Chain A
Amino acid sequence: MIQISPHAEAALTCTLDERSLYLRRLVLGSVRSAGRGHVGPALSLIEMVRVLYDDVLRIDPTNPRDPNRDRAILSKGHGCLALYVLLADRGFFPLSELDGFCGPDSILGGHPEYGMVPGVEASTGALGHGLSIGVGLALAARMRERSYRTFVLLGDGEINEGSVWEAAMGAAKHGLDNLVAIIDYNKLQSYGPTDYVLPLEPLADKWRSFGFAVQELNGHDVGALRTVLKQVPAVPGKPTAIICHTVKGKGLPAAESNADWHHKNKLTDSELDAIRVAVGDF
């Protein structure tokens, strides 16, 4: 029997502060206007993306191509609403863009595109690409003697892809301690539980054995995320993997740990009412 991590239990029970609720309102507002969106995947990411953009990344929204900026890649591109709301909130583009999500003339597609969205470092959506690109960015930083760091956000289902583990070996080979893999371990993928689709445990051991310094935490705990993300590399000379125990759909009781909320089309009136109860009027 696999022990349930205390971080996973904490992720299920912890409450969300006002900023986390506000960001969820923005995500759900976009879904409401677009009539579609990957709800569960975005809600499980919010705190990780929030702490990165609020507290960790050295970035300047007025100079999004600054060569010394930290790089962040959302490898699980379908979770892009979490990224879009943070980028908009931080001023990379106007908040009003969020209403156009997936529209014919919007910069904001159902997966993030480099060159279209200020602040997006790589076009993702095909799973399993981001960590390799991150290895390239991190290696380039070393070659060019730049101090930026590279953060890559991955889904737990995404790491079914063999390319992720190729990249992990490459990162360890080069001792890329300027590279951080953040895993959104929400235990669900598209069809259902990761345990059913393709079991990942022992997950921390896997990353450790691939040469990463591993941290585990409740991925909805803003304080814990700040502490861990501000202390990278966890071990000098090694890439860092941060396993964030999360809840897919966190903050919306109907959506929590519910594979039916992986992607949603139109939200019904009763769903909208339930959302208002959960996160406030929007």
Chain B
Amino acid sequence: MRNTAMNMVHKLAARDERVLYIGSDPGAGTLRAMSKEFPKRHLIEGISEAHIIGMSAGLAMEGLLPYVNTIATFLTRRCYEQVAVDLCLHNLPVRLIANGGGLVYAPLGPTHQAIEDIAIMRALPNMTVICPCDADEAARMMEQTLDWKGPIYIRLGKGGDAIVSKAEHGFEIGKAILMRPQGDVLMVTTGIMLQRAFAAADLLAAQGVRAGILHMHTVKPLDTAALLHAIRGVKLVATLEEHVPSGGLGSAIAEALIDKLGAGLPAMLRLSLPDRFMHNYGSQDSLLKKHGLSADAIATSIEHALAASRTSAPQLHPT
């Protein structure tokens, strides 16, 4: 996904002379071909994220289109004020390409694990937040970034995520994709949780539970219309995310449903990472598994939640 997104920057640069790549201190050879073809538009600016965001704002004010790229934690935590003030307040078209969203850098520990990035980026007025699910979708997504107004935070997974999106799904920023029609339960996913949702849906089907999947690649602006459409008739809405419980996809969905449905809320299950830093290493996969986000665990949690929603009607006035 990462290489694809990077190569897309080169491709877009060939098409549109406003496009710049700005890296801090990326791996040797990052976008080498672009650095050869467009040396003036391939900028390596040093381990100075706050400065790079401000500088990108200045460039964007003059009509250029910077694609800023570094590790997700540094692109969010390190320079949050610059992102808020220089990019969002001025509403400038800078694209933040965040490597290693979620637990991709599991072995490198908590400094490199972007587990609250969706929450803090989503909280900013004017910011758009996109989490593509695989390399093919990342390529379709990048195509849409040339003319989108305002800043975009792009949360990339690692390389080699299974390809589950299809060309016919298309890609439009802010438009969710119904990957499987709704059944008893609707799973809402973002990023690479889609792969797990597919596997969980297969496991559930074997148990006679029909599970739909809504892929919310754009967490902000949230496609509330698609959400409301997709929850029709379901007994349970389950959100899946590689993120802490506060402020991410699950929060966004819950907020939207509360705002739109008030008292008529469906039963909800929010599956996420716990509200703490991870002190285990291993791999993205092993950490997701440890925190109940393997396909097996997702299917089991959904079955339990469905069973619970059958037995306990909502109690508005507990005794």
A residues adjacent to B (C-beta < 8 A) = 114-115, 121-123, 125-126, 128-141, 143-144, 146, 162-163, 166-167, 169-170, 173
User: What separation, in Å, do the CA atoms of A138 and B52 have in the docked complex?
Assistant: 14
Stretch from B61-69, B146-154, B271-279 contacting the other chain: B61-69
Q: How many A-B residue pairs have CB under 8 A?
A: 98
- What are 28 A-B contacts defined by CB distance under 8 Å? A115-B90, A121-B61, A123-B90, A126-B81, A129-B54, A131-B54, A132-B51, A132-B54, A133-B54, A133-B58, A134-B58, A136-B58, A136-B60, A137-B58, A137-B61, A139-B55, A140-B58, A141-B62, A146-B62, A163-B48, A163-B50, A163-B82, A166-B48, A166-B51, A170-B45, A170-B51, A173-B45, A173-B46
Q: Across the interface, do A136 and B56 meet the contact criterion of CB distance under 8 Å?
A: yes
Which of B41, B54, B82 interacts with A135 by CB under 8 Å? Answer: B54
**Chain A CB within 10 Å — which of B53, B54, B62 has the most?**
B54
Q: Across the interface, do A139 and B59 meet the contact criterion of CB distance under 8 Å?
A: yes
Known contacts A133-B54, A136-B55, A173-B46, then 16 further A-B pairs from the complex at CB < 8 Å, ordered by chain A residue: A123-B90, A131-B54, A132-B50, A132-B51, A132-B53, A132-B58, A133-B61, A135-B54, A136-B56, A136-B58, A138-B58, A139-B59, A140-B64, A143-B41, A144-B63, A163-B48
| A140 and B90 contact, Cβ closer than 8 Å, known pairs A135-B51, A167-B54, A169-B48 | no
Q: In the complex, what's the smallest C-beta–C-beta distance from B86 to chain A, in angstroms?
A: 6
A144 neighbours in B (Cβ, 8 Å): 62-64
Q: Is the interface of B mostly helix, strand, loop or mixed?
A: helix
* Chain A residue nearest to B58 in the complex (CB): A136
User: What separation, in Å, do the CA atoms of A135 and B59 have in the docked complex?
Assistant: 8
| A129 and B64 contact, Cβ closer than 8 Å, known pairs A136-B57, A170-B55 | no
User: What separation, in Å, do the CA atoms of A143 and B66 have in the docked complex?
Assistant: 13
**Chain B CB within 10 Å — which of A121, A122, A132, A135 has the most?**
A132
* Chain A residue nearest to B94 in the complex (CB): A136
User: What separation, in Å, do the CA atoms of A130 and B52 have in the docked complex?
Assistant: 12
Q: Across the interface, do A114 and B50 meet the contact criterion of CB distance under 8 Å?
A: no
Q: In the complex, what's the smallest C-beta–C-beta distance from A50 to chain B, in angstroms?
A: 25
Which of B45, B54, B59, B62 interacts with A163 by CB under 8 Å? Answer: B54
User: What separation, in Å, do the CA atoms of A137 and B56 have in the docked complex?
Assistant: 9
Q: Across the interface, do A170 and B85 meet the contact criterion of CB distance under 8 Å?
A: no
Which of B40, B48, B81 interacts with A143 by CB under 8 Å? Answer: B40
User: What separation, in Å, do the CA atoms of A170 and B45 have in the docked complex?
Assistant: 7
Which of B50, B59, B86, B89 interacts with A166 by CB under 8 Å? Answer: B50
